[in-house]
Structure 1
């Protein structure tokens, strides 16, 4: 098996202090590998990077049309949001439209990452709710699909009709039978795939406009929703939001826990999947930005790019003392 290769480095003064190893794959619309680093067949959990795949049955089932889901709600179904007011107000409205409340979620409460929302809870001596969970938009999608199916309330169980539909879609677009699953931070199953399979799925999304089947049309809607509402997919200061804004709707990107990152590039009919072996998000952000810049779809001089490719490391006095940089292996191809 091919070993992970250096993808990002931390330099302090003139010394290489840390090195992050990982894998990455670029696929074309035929599912073939265009370029790879490390092991394309490395088995991973895609974590939240695959939320657009998990949202496919929401549309193909007819649930999205039946409930009149807007592009904002489709973007939230793909989101790992900050729990800011723009996220939670929309999630609560979606729940209300379903005739449901916070107790119907199975994702668990989470203190919001958004500073204003977090401080508001603290000042009010309030505990976070499940709608603050960064995955609450995805769970609204699950609840919508479950209600449409007339299925039971335990929608995160592996044998629930919602998760059976998700697995079927996941295996179809990755082109692989998933060998197993783990439970994600939000309690939903997360199906294993290879880096190649995940990149193949992203390329399938990227080329969806070339096809007219129901699944591909759903992929087009989800990609369009993500790039139309980058603020809902993540939030202010986040790589997903800033990089999508920098690419002005040309590319959809999505992060996942433990340093997974994907990209959907419709104009090139290409998909990208990145996994950093040690789980460092700073390295996955550096890697995805470097690859997108190398493909010519992300301006290397855009502030959002510079913040990831040459990310400054500040000390307690806000003095720059180091820098994250792409490893030579990532730049040499």
Structure 2
């Protein structure tokens, strides 16, 4: 099935950009109830997998073992922007685990948040591994590996026991066989998973509705992780990030990933929702999410209003002058 037009961008009333992709919405029975484009399109999860990658460690009790607080659990599922509060929590997490950032295989980086990066550079700060937006995930898995007395040097390799456990966990929540998930290498060096959007939607619904998870330990771990994400939404993304804004709503679990993939789920409505913008852009996420929520007649209008406030449809130039507009163009099909 071909991709569908999701968003158009106009400048001076003239079409400048068109963004195509796929959307899938599944229910608690694993059925596709709404879609745009191909709901079976295979996408790499990228960072949208982080809540699932945190499950094995929490399930095994690393939160009790290291006396972790909710903020530290949330940042394990994050794509943080290295804002000051992120750095504070990451350093506390590293101290509790007792591992230096030299153990991380992710590349030394500068903060992704513009203000934080500028302040860091003014202070002549150097690149650090802990500033990488995946460092929370890495610290969590290193902590779990250390607790189980597993090799730390190979913690990111696909055949490492923790990585195998992550794959098994994701497949189970997605209701597919492990062999149906194709592995690649993510930007941070971890295995990354390619699977149908419908399967990823099923997995996201389990995050929002853990009562659908048969295994008690996994169910409790999911509740712990998603509770931390909703309690500390800024830890998961950062200032003016779509997933952090959505997580302000206790009815939503959300996490974005690089190259245009996004997953979220609605607890009361019991719907898992994923989409992929084929050109890899993230600028359209808020517009797509708003349109989905409106078309689903989502009851919490404040969340839709909040998205519109933080991510207006107006396009402005570098000086703040209004120059165009972004509009969603798709209709959900049942």
Q: Which residue of 2 aligns with 1:291?
A: 292
Contact 1:23/1:36 (8 A) holds in 2 = yes
**1:214 maps to 2:213:** no
Deviation, structure 1 residue 192: 1.1
Q: Which residue of 2 aligns with 1:184?
A: 186
CA distance in 1, matches of 2:135, 2:203: 23
Contact 1:175/1:197 (8 A) holds in 2 = yes
CA distance in 2, matches of 1:294, 1:223: 25
Q: Which residue of 1 aligns with 2:279?
A: 278
Contact 2:207/2:253 (8 A) holds in 1 = no
Residue 45 and residue 332 in structure 1: after superposition, are their counterparts in 2 closer, same or farther (change >3 A)? closer
Q: Which residue of 2 aligns with 1:203?
A: 205
**1:167 maps to 2:170:** no
TM-score normalised by L of structure 2: 0.92
Residue 115 and residue 19 in structure 1: after superposition, are their counterparts in 2 closer, same or farther (change >3 A)? closer
Deviations 1:16-71 (A, max 9, x none): 22211111111111211111111111111011011111111012222233222222
- Aligned residue for 1:24, secondary structure, equals strand
- Aligned residue for 1:44, secondary structure, equals strand
- Aligned residue for 2:105, secondary structure, equals coil
- Aligned residue for 1:281, secondary structure, equals coil
**1:313 maps to 2:294:** no
- Aligned residue for 2:157, secondary structure, equals coil
Deviations 1:74-96 (A, max 9, x none): 11111101101111111111111
Residue 219 and residue 290 in structure 1: after superposition, are their counterparts in 2 closer, same or farther (change >3 A)? same
Deviation, structure 1 residue 284: 2.8
**1:228 maps to 2:231:** yes
Contact 1:29/1:206 (8 A) holds in 2 = no
Contact 2:23/2:276 (8 A) holds in 1 = yes
CA distance in 2, matches of 1:211, 1:186: 29
Contact 1:261/1:285 (8 A) holds in 2 = no
Residue 40 and residue 241 in structure 1: after superposition, are their counterparts in 2 closer, same or farther (change >3 A)? same
Deviations 1:169-191 (A, max 9, x none): 11111122334211111111101
Contact 2:315/2:322 (8 A) holds in 1 = yes
Q: Which residue of 1 aligns with 2:148?
A: 149
TM-score normalised by L of structure 1: 0.93
Deviation, structure 1 residue 301: 5.6
CA distance in 2, matches of 1:114, 1:30: 39
Deviation, structure 1 residue 332: 7.5
CA distance in 2, matches of 1:256, 1:7: 18
Q: Which runs of 5+ in 1 are unaligned?
A: none
